[in-house]
């Protein structure tokens, strides 16, 4: 089942080129088809711990999962400046 649009999701894979790690939280804002018929993409908005905008990125749908009630958010430093 695909996560709902405009809900927070967690990364389930690192995205090193964006400085993002497994467990980072983002807001899912759109789904996009793959231009060559591959895996559907997910457009994510990212914010820092105080709510300031960081970036909008697109990742494969398999890189995200809905948040679960047994998960606790954590804080870490961003790996690179976006």
**Predicted confidence (pLDDT) per residue in 68-80, tens digit:** 999 999 999 987 6
* pLDDT at residue number 59: 98
Averaged pLDDT of the chain:
93
Domain annotation covers residue 20: yes
Domain annotation covers residue 39: yes
Residue 82 has pLDDT above 70, yes or no: no
Domain annotation covers residue 21: yes
Residue 58 has which token pair?
Answer: 């697109």
Residue 66 has pLDDT above 80, yes or no: yes
Number of structural domains found in the chain:
1
Domain annotation covers residue 1: no
* pLDDT at residue number 56: 97
Domain annotation covers residue 16: yes
Contacts 24+ apart (CB under 8 A), 69-78: 71/10, 73/25, 74/23, 75/49, 76/21, 78/19, 78/48, 78/54
Domain that holds residue 38: 8-66
* pLDDT at residue number 53: 95
């Amino acid at each position: 089942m695909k996560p709902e649009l405009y809900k927070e999701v967690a990364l389930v894979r690192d995205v090193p080129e964006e400085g993002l790690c497994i467990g980072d939280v983002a807001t899912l804002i759109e789904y996009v088809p793959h231009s060559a018929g591959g895996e559907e993409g997910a457009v994510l908005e990212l914010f820092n711990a105080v709510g300031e905008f960081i970036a909008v990125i697109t990742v494969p749908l398999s890189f995200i999962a809905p948040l679960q009630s047994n998960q606790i958010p954590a804080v870490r430093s961003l790996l690179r400046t976006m």
